[in-house]
C-alpha cells in the first residue's frame, strides 16, 4: 500500500486501510473501490490523505502505533472525562490511568522507537486529538530518554490530561479560526493553572506529578514561558518532555486557524528552540528520533524523480530506504530499484505527500 494526498486519488483506486469516524464507525472499508461520490464526501470531511492499495507496493508495511480499538477507547474515555469536567461533575481518574497503561504497553512492544506521526485526527475535536497524540509522542520520547516503564505510564497519564484546564475556556476561543485578541490569549493562558487546580484535588497516587505536568507544560527553560516563568530544572522533567511534544503536535496537526506544518519545518522549529523554549538534552533526543518520513509516503527527489519510502533506518531516520517510482520525465522505473538514501548523499528529498 502507499499513502497519497486525497487530491491525487482517482476514482477506481482501492482503499487499503479502513477509514474510521471518531466514534469508531467504519466510514469506508478497506478494499472499497473509490468513486467520485466517495471522494466528494471525503473532501467534505477534510480527509487529507488515504492509504491506497497498489500491487507494486503491496510488500510495504505501514506501521500503526496504536490499535484502532485502543485509540477509540482512549478518545471515548477522554471525551467523557472532559465532558464531566465541563459540566462540573466529578470524574474518575482510574479509567484515564488504565488507558495510559494500555497505550504504553502497546507502544513498548514496537520494534522501532522513531517518533512518527500517529495519523490520529478526528477533525471535530482538536483538544482530544491533541491530547492523545501528545500522549503517544511523549511516551515514545520518554522511552527514548530511558525512563522506566512505571514512569512512562505516569508521563502518558499526564500527557493525556495536560490540557484539561481548557475545559474551563469558552470553546469559541479554543476553536477560533482567526488570530486571538490579547484578552482571549490571556484567558487561554489560564488553562495550565485551571488544569492543576482540577487535578491536584484528585488525591490519587499519581496526582501530584500529573497535576504539575498540566501546570508546567507551557513553561520554557529560559524562563519566558507561562504561567510562572519557571526556568531550567525548576520545571519538572516530565513537563520538559511534554513541552516539546506539545509544540510538535500543535504544529504538525491541523488547527482551525492554520494548516498542518510540514515535518521538515516542525524539525526546524524544535531545533531552533533548543536551550530556550525546550530542554536541550531531551530536545536533541527528540530530534534524533523524529522521523520526517514514514513507509508508504511518496517523496520527490532533487533529481526530479519520484519514489516511495520503504523503511526507516534506526540510526538515520531522515535518510530512509526508498523505491524509485518514476524518472524525471514521468516514465516508470522498470524494474523498480531500491536505494538507501544514507548511501547516496547526492540524492535528497525535496517534498513529500504529507499535507
Backbone phi, psi, residue 276, to 5°? -115, -70
Cβ atoms within 10 Å of 331's Cβ, excluding its own? 8
Q: Which one, 163 or 298, has the nearer CB to Fe ion?
A: 163
Output DSSP code: residue 162: T
How far apart (Å, rounded) are the C-alpha atoms in residues 205 and 338?
51
For Fe ion, the nearest residue by Cβ is: 163
How far apart (Å, rounded) are the C-alpha atoms in residues 355 and 353?
6
State the minimum distance, in angstroms, from the CB of residue 246 to Fe ion: 6
User: Any residues with CB less than 8 A from the CB of 59 and at least 6 apart, and which?
Assistant: none
State the minimum distance, in angstroms, from the CB of residue 222 to Fe ion: 18
Residue span 22-61 as binding mask against Fe ion, x where in contact by CB under 5 A, dash where not = ----------------------------------------
Q: Which one, 163 or 279, has the nearer CB to Fe ion?
A: 163
State the minimum distance, in angstroms, from the CB of residue 240 to Fe ion: 14
State the minimum distance, in angstroms, from the CB of residue 332 to Fe ion: 47
Q: Does 129 bind Fe ion (CB under 5 A)?
A: no
For Fe ion, the binding residues in 131-170 under the rule CB under 5 A are: 163
For Fe ion, the binding residues in 223-242 under the rule CB under 5 A are: none
* φ/ψ bin of 304: left (φ > 0), alpha (ψ from -120 to 50), beta (otherwise): left
Coil, strand or helix: which one is 200?
helix
How far apart (Å, rounded) are the C-alpha atoms in residues 355 and 263?
9
State the minimum distance, in angstroms, from the CB of residue 165 to Fe ion: 8
How far apart (Å, rounded) are the C-alpha atoms in residues 283 and 293?
19
Coil, strand or helix: which one is 75?
helix
State the minimum distance, in angstroms, from the CB of residue 141 to Fe ion: 17
Alpha helices in the chain, H assignment, sequence order:
36-44, 68-86, 94-108, 126-144, 149-161, 171-174, 182-188, 191-200, 207-216, 237-252, 263-272, 280-289
For Fe ion, the binding residues in 250-269 under the rule CB under 5 A are: none
Cell numbers at 335, concatenated: 524494474
Contact 337, 323 (CB under 8 A): yes
Q: Which one, 163 or 219, has the nearer CB to Fe ion?
A: 163
Q: Which one, 138 or 353, has the nearer CB to Fe ion?
A: 138
Q: Which one, 253 or 296, has the nearer CB to Fe ion?
A: 253
Number of amino acids touching Fe ion (CB under 5 A): 1
State the minimum distance, in angstroms, from the CB of residue 258 to Fe ion: 17
Q: Which one, 127 or 352, has the nearer CB to Fe ion?
A: 127
State the minimum distance, in angstroms, from the CB of residue 159 to Fe ion: 11
Contact 267, 290 (CB under 8 A): yes
Where along the sequence are the contacts to Fe ion (CB under 5 A)? 163
Amino acid at each position: 500500500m502507499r499513502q497519497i494526498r486525497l487530491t491525487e486519488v482517482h476514482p477506481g483506486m482501492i482503499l487499503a486501510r479502513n477509514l474510521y469516524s471518531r466514534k469508531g464507525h467504519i466510514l469506508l472499508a478497506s478494499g472499497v473501490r473509490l468513486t467520485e461520490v466517495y471522494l466528494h464526501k471525503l473532501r467534505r470531511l477534510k480527509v487529507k490523505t488515504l492509504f491506497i492499495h497498489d500491487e507494486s507496493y503491496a510488500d510495504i508495511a505501514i506501521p500503526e502505533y496504536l490499535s484502532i480499538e485502543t485509540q477509540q477507547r482512549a478518545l471515548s474515555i477522554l471525551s467523557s472525562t472532559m465532558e464531566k469536567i465541563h459540566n462540573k461533575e466529578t470524574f474518575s481518574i482510574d479509567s484515564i490511568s488504565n488507558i495510559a497503561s494500555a497505550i504504553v504497553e502497546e507502544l513498548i512492544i514496537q520494534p522501532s522507537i522513531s517518533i512518527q506521526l500517529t495519523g490520529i485526527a478526528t477533525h471535530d475535536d482538536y483538544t482530544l486529538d491533541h491530547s492523545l497524540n501528545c500522549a503517544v509522542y511523549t511516551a515514545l520520547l520518554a522511552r527514548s530518554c530511558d525512563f522506566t516503564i512505571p514512569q512512562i505510564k505516569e508521563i502518558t497519564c499526564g500527557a493525556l490530561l495536560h490540557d484539561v484546564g481548557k475545559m474551563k475556556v469558552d470553546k469559541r476561543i479554543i476553536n477560533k479560526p482567526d488570530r486571538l485578541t490579547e484578552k482571549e490569549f490571556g484567558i487561554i493562558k489560564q488553562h495550565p493553572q485551571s488544569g492543576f487546580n482540577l487535578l491536584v484535588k484528585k488525591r490519587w497516587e499519581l496526582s501530584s506529578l500529573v497535576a504539575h505536568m498540566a501546570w508546567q507544560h507551557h513553561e520554557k527553560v529560559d524562563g519566558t514561558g507561562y504561567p510562572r516563568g519557571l526556568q531550567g530544572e525548576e520545571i519538572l522533567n516530565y513537563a520538559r518532555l511534554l513541552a516539546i511534544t506539545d509544540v510538535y503536535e500543535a504544529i504538525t496537526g491541523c488547527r482551525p486557524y492554520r494548516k498542518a506544518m510540514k515535518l521538515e519545518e516542525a524539525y526546524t522549529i524544535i531545533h531552533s528552540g533548543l536551550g530556550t523554549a525546550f530542554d536541550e538534552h531531551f530536545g536533541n533526543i527528540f530530534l534524533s528520533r523524529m522521523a520526517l518520513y514514514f513507509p508508504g509516503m511518496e517523496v520527490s527527489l532533487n533529481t526530479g524523480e519520484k519514489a516511495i519510502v520503504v523503511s526507516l533506518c534506526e540510526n538515520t531516520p531522515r535518510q530512509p530506504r526508498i523505491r524509485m517510482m518514476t524518472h524525471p520525465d514521468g516514465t516508470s522505473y522498470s524494474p523498480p530499484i531500491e536505494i538507501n538514501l544514507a548511501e547516496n548523499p547526492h540524492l535528497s528529498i525535496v517534498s513529500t505527500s504529507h499535507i
